[in-house]
Structure formats: structure tokens, C-alpha cells
């Protein structure tokens, strides 16, 4: 696939699945905008590595996507640099694990703002460029939790179910403009997001680390293996191809069979 001349913006791409998307898209020649937090020197090294993959440009945005004005600034910076966005990957997300009656209000607000509302803002700001070009790809990292629930993840499951509904809606709105919108729904992928929820899950369920990995994380994943970030990124590349032009409004599971049961 050749994405030369196209621009992809991937939210939450300084780490994990987002970074894998950025590498896959840059590897096909796209300019990429990466976003997220982390060590400045490490991010700069990743940015340069992305440019080295194909010679296309890579821009870093450190904007905080829980804030509307920062999302607007990121989208403006991308449009100023590249004249618009062709592939929008809404991927930034955080998790918090707690029983609903103890769920911290600030964590609820953070998860809804980042995992759900930021995708509305990036989409509304990217769509005019896509409509103009009669081509676009909107890809959400949803989750198996956009299809089924798990206890103690009320905010996350709510946000991901919302993201799935949002995606179906915009798929219908954009269907005649050459713009597709789809969810990719991974099961457990071994990334910092998963690693960081182990201590809270140990506390919430009174389990050891090994019990959380085997009896909670991989319990529902019939293959008994973690998904890799690269496997998720390859699905996104396929969605960018002409072969996927008629796939829109779909929610594609990459979950080792989790949601089949």
C-alpha cells in the first residue's frame, strides 16, 4: 500500500498501540502526527525514527486531549503543516479500575473526556478536509469493552461503548464522501496501559499479580495469548487500503476470540 502524500494523525501515539500505528502508517509513506506524553528525548528519537522509515515527515504534538482548546491547537498545527488530515486514528485512552461506589469522580471525567469526547473533537475538525478530498479514514481504537463489559471498569466500558456508537453514526453521515469510519476492538494487548492496571486489579479483586494476568486478563481470551500492538496496527493499514473502501461502521475484533463466547 502506498500512503505517500497522505497525512495520518494518531492520538496517544508515544507508546503502545498508538506508536505501532504510527510506525505502520509512516512505513507506508504517510506523514504522521504523533501525540501523547512522555520523556522528551525518547519522543524525539521516535519522531526521527518515523521520518527515517520512509522519508515522509513526522510531527510531534504534546497536546493534552482532555482539553478542547488543546485538541483544536493540535488539529490546527497538523493542518498548517500538512494541509489537512487524511487518516485520523483516535487511540488515546486511559483506564481506571475501581468499584462503582468508590470510583473517583475525577477519573470518571478524565476517561470520558479522553477515551470518548476527544474523538468527537478530532473528528469534527478532520472531517471537512476529508470531505473536500472525497477520501478519508477514521479509525478508532475501541476495545472488546466496546462490545462487552467487565466489572470495576464502569467509565472505560461506558466510553468505549459510546465510541462504538459514535463511529456507526459518523460512518452513516460520511458514507457518500469516500470516508470510512470503523472501530478496531482489541482484547488484551501487552502495553503500559495493561501493566499499570494490574496493581489496582490486585487490590479490587484481592489477587496476586500472576492471578490477575492468568485469571483476569487472559481468562476471557480463548487463545490465552496477548494480542500484539503490531497485529492491531496491521488491521488499521488494511482499513486504509482500497480493498477496505466498503468497510464502514464496522467494529473489528482483534481479541483472540474473547467476544465470541
Instruction: List the catalytic residues.
Output: 156
Q: How many CB atoms lie within 10 A of CB 146?
A: 24
Cell numbers representing residue 72 in the block: 483544536
Output Rg (C-alpha) for the chain, integer angstroms.
18
- CB under 6 A: which stretch of 14-22, 123-131, 172-180, 204-212 binds ligand NAD? 14-22
Q: Figure out which of the listed residues 77, 112, 148, 194 binds ligand NAD, where binding follows CB under 6 A.
A: 194
* Residue with smaller CB distance to ligand NAD, 36 or 256: 36
CA distance 69 to 224: 42
Q: Considering the complex, what minimum distance in angstroms separates the CB of residue 192 from ligand NAD? A: 4
Q: Is 193 buried (19+), middle (13-18) or exposed (0-12) by CB count in 10 A?
A: middle
CA distance 160 to 155: 9
The answer to whether 36 and 58 have CB atoms below 8 angstroms apart is no
Residue 89 interacts with ligand NAD (CB under 6 A): yes or no: no
- CB under 6 A: which stretch of 91-99, 131-139, 165-173, 244-252 binds ligand NAD? 91-99
Q: Considering the complex, what minimum distance in angstroms separates the CB of residue 109 from ligand NAD? A: 12
Distance (Å) of CA 173 to CA 128, 147, 154, 166 = 12, 22, 29, 11
Residue 186 interacts with ligand NAD (CB under 6 A): yes or no: yes
**DSSP code, position 144:** G
CB hemisphere CA count around 256 (13 angstroms): 15
* Residue with smaller CB distance to ligand NAD, 65 or 126: 65
Q: Figure out which of the listed residues 8, 10, 15, 216 binds ligand NAD, where binding follows CB under 6 A.
A: 15
Residue 191 interacts with ligand NAD (CB under 6 A): yes or no: yes
Residue 182 parent element (H or E) = strand 179-186
CA distance 236 to 87: 10
Q: Figure out which of the listed residues 28, 54, 143, 251 binds ligand NAD, where binding follows CB under 6 A.
A: 143
* Residue with smaller CB distance to ligand NAD, 40 or 245: 40
Residue 18 interacts with ligand NAD (CB under 6 A): yes or no: yes
- CB under 6 A: which stretch of 1-9, 24-32, 58-66, 240-248 binds ligand NAD? 58-66
* Residue with smaller CB distance to ligand NAD, 149 or 175: 149
Q: Name the residues that contact ligand NAD, by CB under 6 A.
A: 12-18, 35-38, 64-66, 91-94, 114-115, 141, 143, 186, 188-189, 191-194
Amino acid at each position: 500500500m502506498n500512503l505517500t502524500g497522505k497525512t495520518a494523525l494518531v492520538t496517544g501515539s508515544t507508546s503502545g498501540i498508538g506508536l505501532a500505528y504510527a510506525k505502520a502508517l509512516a512505513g507506508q509513506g504517510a506523514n504522521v502526527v504523533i501525540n501523547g506524553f512522555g520523556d522528551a528525548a525518547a519522543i524525539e528519537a521516535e519522531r526521527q525514527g518515523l521520518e527515517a522509515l520512509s522519508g515522509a515527515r513526522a510531527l510531534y504534538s504534546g497536546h493534552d486531549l482532555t482539553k478542547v482548546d488543546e485538541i483544536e491547537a493540535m488539529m490546527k498545527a497538523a493542518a498548517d503543516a500538512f494541509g489537512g488530515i487524511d487518516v485520523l486514528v483516535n487511540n488515546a485512552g486511559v483506564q481506571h479500575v475501581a468499584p462503582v461506589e468508590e470510583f473517583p469522580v475525577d477519573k470518571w471525567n478524565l476517561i470520558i473526556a479522553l477515551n470518548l469526547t476527544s474523538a468527537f473533537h478530532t473528528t469534527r475538525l478532520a472531517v471537512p478536509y476529508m470531505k473536500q478530498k472525497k477520501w478519508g479514514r477514521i479509525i478508532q481504537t475501541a476495545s472488546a469493552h466496546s462490545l462487552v463489559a467487565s466489572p470495576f471498569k464502569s467509565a472505560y466500558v461506558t466510553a468505549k461503548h459510546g465510541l462504538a456508537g459514535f463511529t456507526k453514526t459518523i460512518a452513516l453521515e460520511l458514507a457518500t464522501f469516500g470516508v470510512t469510519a470503523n472501530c478496531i476492538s482489541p482484547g488484551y494487548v501487552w502495553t503500559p496501559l495493561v501493566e499499570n492496571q494490574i496493581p489496582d486489579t490486585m487490590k479490587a479483586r484481592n489477587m496476586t499479580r500472576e492471578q490477575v494476568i492468568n485469571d483476569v486478563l487472559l481468562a476471557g481470551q480463548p487463545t490465552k495469548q496477548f494480542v500484539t500492538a503490531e497485529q492491531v496496527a496491521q488491521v488499521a493499514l488494511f482499513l486504509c487500503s482500497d480493498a477496505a473502501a466498503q468497510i464502514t461502521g464496522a467494529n473489528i475484533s482483534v481479541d483472540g476470540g474473547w467476544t465470541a463466547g
